Every structure is written in C-alpha cells, then in structure tokens.
Chains A and B, each alone.
Chain A
C-alpha cells in the first residue's frame, strides 16, 4: 500500500466520520420518550423548513400522481414492550378542532396511505421510525383532505365483560391535491370582544374566518397600547388556537392580566398559521362585571393574512426579467454592438 493510497483512505475515513459523528451524537442525545405511546414527525419537506406546522404535521400540496414518504417516530415510554398497530384514520375539522374518526374511519386520503412496517413490537425507551407513504392517484380530484397517521395500543381485553381502553397517538395530515401551485392560505380577523370570566379575569376573543382554500391552525398574541395614562401592556399569548377548514369561522381566545385597568385600549391582534400571518386593531374597553362582555368591535386590518404563492412568483419573475434586461443593456453599451459601422 503506497503512502498516497493511505492518504486517500484516511481522507475517506475522515469525511465519513464527519457525517457519522453528528448522527451518532444526535442519537445519543435523544431524550427518553415520555410515558405511554408517543408520536413525532421525524422529517418534513425541505421547502417548508420555516413553517412551524410542517414540523408537527404532515402538510403538503401534491399533484395527482405524486408520491411522498415521511418518517414518523412512534415511541414506547412504558416499562414493558408494547405491540403497536399503525394505520391512517380519516379526520375532520369541526368546532375549531381536528378530530380523527372513531375506529378505522376511511376517506380518499386514508386509501392512499401505507405504513412500513404496519405493526411492530416496540421496546421500552425505543422510538421506532415508521415510513408513511402517500400515493395520490392520477385521477384524484382537487381539494384538501384530512387524516391522522396513528399508532394504536390496546389494553388487555376485558375477560369478564366491561370496557377495554385503547390509546392512539398520531400525526395530523393536511393534504391538498391539485395541479400547479398550492392554493392560497388566508384568513380574516373580523371582530374583537372584551370579556371577563366568572373569576374576574379579563380576556379577549377574536372572531376569525378562514377565507382561503386550505385549513389553518390559528394562534398568536395581543398587544395593548394607548391605555389610561398612555399605558401599554403585552404581548399576551393566545391561550387557545382554532383549527379551521376553508370557509369555517371560529374563535381565538387571549387571556389578559387581572391587574389591567379597564381602558380604553388600542388592541392589536396578530394571528399566525404556519407562514401566514395577519394583524388588526380595535379600540377596546374591558367590562366591569365578572362574567360580562362588551359589544364586538370590528377589527381594522393592518396586515394581510394571505400567503399567495402566485404573487411571490410574479415578483420573482419581474426581478428575473429586470436582471436579464439590465445585463443585455450593459453588454450592448460596453462593447459598442449598436454603433454604426462605416
């Protein structure tokens, strides 16, 4: 073996080590799974790395005929091995929540999903990577569909009658199907209402409306400014979120501090769903009485809650054209291509 060969081998080992070491370290640092059975998304689409929802749920827009795979980790935090079954369950969105169906509910989306493996015995402390593959048929119709990628654990069946308890945990799937770019995600905040609960704690409810073509998971915060003696307060985080399918209306609740003066205040609400955010303002006065509320106040929008891929694309296209035009003009001026000859 020549020195050159040795050098090459050392180089290969070093390069391989550079890749292997972080993976090993990450595995070693993986926290012990929480008690019971758990689920976590292990990977998301590279184009959605900045989208918080894509870190928790399988969210995508696919053309008919497409196939994607995502790894989901199902964990066992119990002291004994557990036998888990993996499957997709149809889900729906109503009253602001994402609800998987009872049993093995089916819809279009569940019939497109397969799991590998479909069942397994998971050891205590283990997180088992399971590949969830979605194959959208070529003749799939447009629209958004919902399901959950679940792991199911049954307790020991009752031998003498009674009710057996079953636990399921999983990852939500929001899948939009159609040609071209993703449909628009948009919502409006229509009104704010100041309220006090029975214990006197003030809170604000925001009436929201999904005006886009994809489901939203709305959360955010409220800022108060221009209060008595020019006071400001906040931000106060939204204490509840609203999951709304296209066309749905719902409520997001923001709890305030009991010590706040009643106002009036300029309230600015900012809500976000993934990469889409919007805000608006309204002048609010907190109610005096416990359990009371003021009349809803219409919100003046200050930021558009709309993410339109087409608009971003148009801007980029204009930039592209400008760059090419400028480049050609510079070339023409610099080399005298337009100068008459003779």
Chain B
C-alpha cells in the first residue's frame, strides 16, 4: 500500500515536473531565474590594426585599419552568423564647424576567410550607420579579414581646418 502510494505520488510529481519542463513556461508572476548552465566554447572577437587616426580625403575612399573577426563559438550547427555593423559620427572642427555623418560612406573591401572557410554576405555601402558585412564560418575559430573604407563626399561648400570624428565597428 505504501509502495503504491509512493509510486503514484512520484509519478504525479514527475508528470508535474514534465508539465513545467515541456511547456517551457515561465510563471505568470514575476520570478528570478537562479538556475543556469555553463556555456562551452570560445569567443566572437574583433581586432583592428592599431592606428592613431585616419585622415579622410574629400572624394576618395580611404582605407581604415585592417579588421579581423574571429568566431570561436562552439556553435552546434554553425548557425550563428555574425554581423559587423558600422557607424560614423559627425566630423567636428575645433572652431565648431561640422561635416554631417551622412556625408561619409563606409564600405568593405571584399574580405575573405584567412583561417577556416565560410560564407560572406556583403551589404550595401553604409551611409552614416548600418550593417557592413555578415558571415557564417563553417568551422570553429574561422577568421575573416577585411579593410573598411571611408569616403568623404565632395563638399559643396569649401571647408578648412582639422576635423575629427569616430568610426565604430560592432560585431555581434
């Protein structure tokens, strides 16, 4: 009798546990999630050759620092594509003059995998901000290398002085 009760209770308990596990339900009320699992694998990384600043030239695409993306993630089925997006700020001059960011076009000289293989998906040239290049590596620790470029549009008004700005590349 006791054994049967225990068995029944255990079965019911298992079913209830299964109910919550199978449904993947979060409760309808606020709850914290203290239970986690440890993720195996490496990093997604970005590196640029060190530089103290790149001078832009009106009407000419200028090479920015060479960029490499290394994908060391232990992706089960290599489904994790990465995307580098790029953005540029307004260029400002110490006297207060500004060249707007939409006057600068960022692009990617067609890069390639320098370690491992994979698929590159280029994007349209970026005006001010947007995706620059995406890729999916076929194997762990694939390395993709490219050179971003920045093109300052020919200005309708003459400008002079020393302008400064920032180009940001983000990989996720």
- Chain A residues at the B interface, C-beta cutoff of 8 Å: 31, 33-49, 52-53, 55-56, 60-68, 70, 73, 75, 77-78, 89, 91, 95, 97-103, 127, 136, 138, 148, 150, 152, 154-172, 179-182, 217, 219, 237, 239-241, 243, 255, 272, 309-310, 312-313, 315-317, 319-320, 323-324, 327, 330-331, 334-335
Contacts and interface: CB of A to CB of B under 8 A. Distances in A.
Interface of B: 1, 4, 7-8, 11-12, 15-16, 18-19, 21-33, 35-48, 50-56, 64-65, 67-68, 70, 72-81, 83, 85, 87-89, 91, 119, 121, 123, 128-131, 134, 136, 138, 141, 143, 150, 161-172
A237 B75 CA distance: 14
B170 A100 contact: yes
A205 to B, nearest CB: 12
Given A34-B43, A52-B75, A159-B53, A312 B23 contact: yes
B19 A320 contact: yes
Contacts, number: 310
Given A36-B70, A163-B53, A43 B36 contact: yes
Contacts of A52: 75-77, 79-80
Contacts of A164: 53, 164-167
Nearest to B1: A335
19 contacts: A34-B47, A36-B47, A45-B33, A52-B77, A63-B26, A75-B43, A99-B130, A100-B170, A138-B30, A154-B166, A163-B164, A164-B167, A169-B44, A169-B45, A169-B170, A240-B81, A240-B121, A315-B22, A316-B18
A89 B85 CA distance: 13
Given A97-B85, A99-B131, A163-B166, 20 more contacts: A35-B47, A40-B43, A40-B73, A43-B37, A52-B76, A55-B76, A66-B31, A101-B129, A102-B89, A148-B170, A150-B172, A161-B164, A163-B53, A164-B167, A180-B25, A240-B121, A309-B25, A323-B8, A323-B15, A335-B1
B55 to A, nearest CB: 4
A166 B169 contact: yes
Nearest to B71: A34
Contacts of A309: 23-25
B84 to A, nearest CB: 10
A42 B72 contact: no
A34 B41 contact: no
Contacts of A180: 25-26, 28
Contacts of A127: 43
B60 to A, nearest CB: 14
